[in-house]
Homo-oligomer: A and B are copies of this chain.
């Protein structure tokens, strides 16, 4: 087994097709239902929101879908992303386990989000869309889409939850630097925003309201489409470049993961790493385990119901079958903002339901403990979201140590935490609060 620290690939070794897990699912997905009529939706029902290129991917049963040349070209500015053996962390834990991580923080947006942002912007551009609207919480998705729209010369309109807009100006400035127009939500630009403000002029906003504003703009303007950064089948599809690269890199390392770990918000990051390995497991008859990690404050996979629910609070998005805490659930204000979603990607939900993927929920204090241990040993400062995967990997490594087992662990490090230092400060000062959905702390207490 080669004893390297970092496994890099040349851009010519990048996958040229996305992997679609749909044909390999244990059973078919239930169809999405119309948000109002609850009738099954066809591709044409989605056309006001998305270009046909993406809608075709949403329902495709093809196992591999070619990545367009223009998307491949822009991927090459930051991909293939590195696979790193966390040797210093292994040493600190004194574990016989081998720990590898796939690092997506090397993109300009600092996370895996550009993998789908570039693809979505491309398909919109090809079909003549001049403008894309979207929502963002703390700004991770918004900044990825802003960069992608800039590249494909599309206007980008971002509705940013007001409390984040005011308290976290850095990602707002980042989006503006990439040419996006950022509006605090609720705003007076939409009926949805006006209605909220009429009721409460001081509203701090929520992701649900911001989605409603972005969707409304897309529905009312023919030249405008809507863009979403997770949950949908085509978003999970685009992220599979991560797992496919990892398989090539782990091959060079002559290492086969016993367990593949990732954090889950909407589910696209986890799916991107895990789905190609799920396919590999089936093909090669392996015994790979998969572990999805979520926050105890928003434990969709471990405490949610598996049923039809709306994708958004305002019931404007389609109803899909997924694990959900309810479309009107407002998670507590944990620092891993990207994991505060009431539902999960339907494809991932189905695989959890069928027992193919395990899930675990963690408190944010233990997550930050893992984050700091990782930063101090591997250098990289992880995003709070990604740190969920780190902490679960540490637990696996310590379990291997206790049992005296060799174990090969692969986890996804979905992004860096350069814009999350306020959260680290709170952790170092001992000021982090843990929220437990199961214990009833279901609403933000801060």
Contacts and interface: CB of A to CB of B under 8 A. Distances in A.
B428 A176 contact: yes
Given A11-B4, A418-B110, A428 B173 contact: yes
Contacts of A110: 418
Interface string A197-218: 0000000000000000000000
Contacts of A77: 5-6, 84, 88, 378-379
A77 B178 CA distance: 30
A177 B381 contact: yes
A376 interface: yes
B375 A177 contact: yes
A169 B426 CA distance: 12
Nearest to A146: B376
Nearest to A368: B177
Nearest to A106: B106
A372 interface: yes
A132 to B, nearest CB: 16
- The CB with the most chain B CB atoms within 10 A, among A4, A421, A428, is that of A421
A175 B88 CA distance: 19
B421 A170 contact: yes
Contacts of A258: none
A183 interface: no
A23 B182 CA distance: 55
A78 B379 contact: yes
Interface in A156-180: 169-170, 173-174, 176-179
Contacts of A282: none
A425 B425 CA distance: 24
Given A173-B425, A428-B176, A8 B8 contact: yes
Given A5-B77, A10-B8, A77-B5, A108 B147 contact: no
B73 A177 contact: no
Interface in A346-386: 372, 375-381
A422 B169 CA distance: 9
B4 A425 contact: no
B108 A381 contact: yes
A424 B378 contact: no
A144 to B, nearest CB: 10
Interface of A: 4-6, 8-12, 73, 76-78, 84, 88, 106-110, 114, 147, 150-151, 169-170, 173-174, 176-179, 372, 375-381, 418-419, 421-422, 424-425, 428
16 contacts: A4-B76, A5-B73, A5-B77, A8-B11, A77-B379, A110-B418, A114-B379, A151-B379, A170-B418, A174-B424, A176-B428, A177-B375, A177-B421, A177-B428, A178-B375, A418-B418
